[in-house]
Amino acid sequence: MAIEIQSVTKLFVRRGREVVALDDFSLSIGSGEFVAFVGPSGCGKSTLLNMIAGILEPTGGAIEHDGKVVQGPNRSVGYMTQADSLLPWRTAEDNVMLPLRLRGVSQSEARERVAALLATVNLSGFHKHFPNELSGGMRKRVALAQVLAYDPGTLLMDEPFGALDAQLKLVMQNELLAIWERTRKTVVFVTHDLAEAIALADRVIVFTGRPGRIKLEERIDLDRPRDVFRDRFSTRFQAIYERIWQALEPEIKKGEAL
């Protein structure tokens, strides 16, 4: 197992009140598996991702990644968020180079690998551009090249394409899948977009509203390699969508009623 979440509980204190984000949550994620978390906002799916990344500490329980308990920043994952995580004062090339340099790769070797990585995400020719000179989609490509640079076995993605427009989102999903097909990394993908979760993942985990628990686990048996542009119109896709939506809808309505 790549990731073992063992009865994890997470409490926050907000304005003098206790908030239970996750309650006795357990889940195993296999090596090379693509898992998507969906659920209403505030259900603890991002909190769980941040705990796997080692940014947050569980209040109770433990998380094992590659057989080791996560304590402090988890350096064997790649972490990508919806917000721009690129350093704005570094060019695209220097951003992708950063994790390599931090891990002691020599300047010349790093430069070579960066050129190849930027080509992988179709961004050749934009090496010297600063993030604010790139479009939203291009920035996502640089961020993707950055997490691929040091070849972590696991990618943690927190609504990475949430801020992109609908068409661009599909393009990026398609590229992510192509990269995943080649590298077979373990991916944990948080999203509120159910269609995105089904299009990408082997398994979709539906969270309940706060406190977050598993409402439904659904294996997505669509054939690989997938076509994110067309799969969604197939009857199989729609049947899966309908089944998961049945579980998700009441949770979302519950959140709205509060």
Partner 1 sequence: MNAYDAAQTMPDRSSRAVVEEELKVARGRRMQRIAQVAVGVLFLAFWELAAGPLIDPFFISEPSAVFAKLVDWIRRGELFSHLGITLYATVIGFAIGSVSGFSVGFIFGRYERVGAVFDPYITAIYCLPKIALAPLFIMWFGIGIESKIAMSAVIVFFLVFLNTYSGVRDVNPIHIHGTRIMGAGEWQLLVNVIAPSAAAWVLTGLKVSVPYALIGAVVGEFMSSNRGMGFVIAQSSALFDTAGVFAGLVVLAMVGGIINEGLKRFERHVLRWRG
The span from the CA of 95 to the CA of 37, in Å, is 28
102 in contact with partner 1 (CB under 8 A): yes
Taking the least distance from each CB to partner 1, the nearer of 129 and 213 is: 129
186 binding partner 1? (CB under 8 A):
no
Considering only residues 63 through 92, tell me which ones interact with partner 1, judged by CB under 8 A.
73-75, 77-79, 81, 83-85, 87-91
Residue 99 near partner 1 by CB under 8 A: yes
Site residue total, partner 1 (CB under 8 A)? 33
Nearest to 117 by CA among 104, 100, 135: 100
Residue 16 Rama label (left phi>0; alpha psi -120 to 50; beta)? left
- Binding status of residue 254 toward partner 1 by CB under 8 A: no
Smallest gap from Cβ 107 to partner 1, in A, equals: 15
- Alpha-carbon Rg for the chain, nearest whole angstrom, is 19
| The one among 146, 154, 173, 191 contacting partner 1 by CB under 8 A | 146
Where in 14-73 is the site for partner 1 (CB under 8 A)?
53-55, 73
126 binds partner 1 (CB under 8 A): yes
User: CB of 222: closest distance to partner 1 in angstroms?
Assistant: 31
Cβ-based nearer residue to partner 1, 146 or 173: 146
What is the spatial distance between Cα 201 and Cα 36, in angstroms, rounded to a whole number? 6
d(C-alpha 203, C-alpha 36), whole Å = 6
Smallest distance, Å, CB 251 to partner 1? 27
- We find the least distance from the C-beta atom of residue 161 to partner 1, in angstroms, to be 16
Residue 71, helix vs strand vs coil: coil
Cα–Cα–Cα angle for 178, 183, 188, nearest 5°? 80
CB-based contacts of 37, cutoff 8 Å, min separation 6? 45, 48, 49, 188, 189, 190, 191, 197, 205, 207
Q: Could you list the residues that contact partner 1 (CB under 8 A)?
A: 53-55, 73-75, 77-79, 81, 83-85, 87-91, 98-99, 102-103, 125-133, 146, 150
